[in-house]
Structure 1
Amino acid sequence: MLKLGGCINILIAIGHIIGLFWADKMFEITGIGKEMKELAQAHSSLPYLLTIFVAIAFFVFGLYGLSADNKFRRLPFLKPVIFLIAGIYLLRGIGELIFDLEKQQTNQFLEITYSLIAVFIGLLFLIGGLRKWNLKHTNE
């Protein structure tokens, strides 16, 4: 589960970087076009820099997933970071689902899909982490 979660995060990171070649289209498809245009008004490079920062975060999440599955060297604070990543995804997914279900918008299907994906990835990290550390009964 942790390996799958890690691989998915690395793919998302790569997708963000590749998407920068068609940034305006990517921002529109993902539903953040308006926000990125407003950000670009402050400085034209900010949407690109923010996307790179987000890609780096996804990549680091991926490395932690692979590290927890022993596919990559052991990273610092592995156990708490795995559960932090799970919490971030679950909070984002469940919180956005609740918010989306309360509002009526045209992009609701896309937003609900992204939220369900976030919940899925969060569960991969949560259940994977629980299996890894509860079955071993160690103080890693």
Structure 2
Amino acid sequence: MKSPCKILIAAGSLSMVAALLHVAVIFGGPDWYRFFGAGEELAQMAEDGKLYPIIVTLFITSILIAWGLYALSGAGLILRLPFLRSCLVLIAAVYCIRGAYGPFIPLLVSTPYVENLGIAFWFWSSAICMSIGLLHLWGLKRNWSSLSQKN
């Protein structure tokens, strides 16, 4: 049996950490929404006790958990998930595209939401997404042949 791919373990772990941070934002409340760059509009809705910020944050959390599970599956740590290689390619692509275009969003889109998030949010969140995406790509490259095998 092949040893688990540490690169995909790292990628999956980072997606899980991101998911946990999103859950922490829900419990942290409006100030956490602001600190982590969700924007004043979501923070204000959270302050007003509206469910929308929680629903949006839980939706993002569920996607990040699924992505983490796919990376851990690709690493060989958990049961092989369906469409593993295709999903990992798509996950890597989404992370890298978000990482690549993110810093340009404030230059391309002028809305109060985009402007409220600020340049620092777009820079750091893009750098984080690009890093996680590149880890996925590296793990895919290293494990490409084993990811195509049907178990």
TM-score by length of 2: 0.78
Q: Is 1:6–2:17 an aligned residue pair? A: no
Q: Deviation per CA, 1:75-116, whole angstroms, max 9, x where unpaired?
A: 00000000100011011110112335779x783123201101
Matching of residue 125 in structure 1 with residue 125 in structure 2? no
Percent identity reads 29
| Higher mean C-alpha deviation, range 8-17 or range 115-124 | 8-17
Q: List, as ranges, runs of 4+ consecutive aligned residues in structure 1 with deviation greater than 6 Å.
A: none
Instruction: Give the secondary-structure state (helix, strand or coil) at the position aligned to 2:10.
Output: helix
Aligned match of 2:4: none
Q: Is the 8 A contact 1:24 1:33 kept in 2?
A: no
Contact 1:27 1:36 in 2 (8 A): yes
* Equivalent position to 2:75, from 49, 65, 69: 69
Alpha-carbon offset, residue 37 of structure 1:
5.1
The amino acid of 2:23's aligned partner reads I
Instruction: State the partner residue of 2:127.
Output: 116
Q: 1:1-140 alignment to 2 at 5 Å? A: 1-36=7-42, 44-100=50-106, 107-133=118-144, 136=145, 139-140=148-149
* Structure 2 alignment gaps of length 5 or more: 1-6, 110-114
TM-aligned CA deviation for residue 15 of structure 1: 1.4
**Native 8 Å contact 2:73 2:81 kept in 1:** yes
Cα RMSD between the aligned structures? Answer: 2.5
When the two structures are superposed, what TM-score results if normalisation uses the length of structure 1? 0.84
Q: How many residue pairs are counted as aligned between the two chains?
A: 136
Q: Which amino acid aligns with 2:122?
A: E
Distance (Å, rounded) in 2 between the aligned partners of 1:18 and 1:82: 26
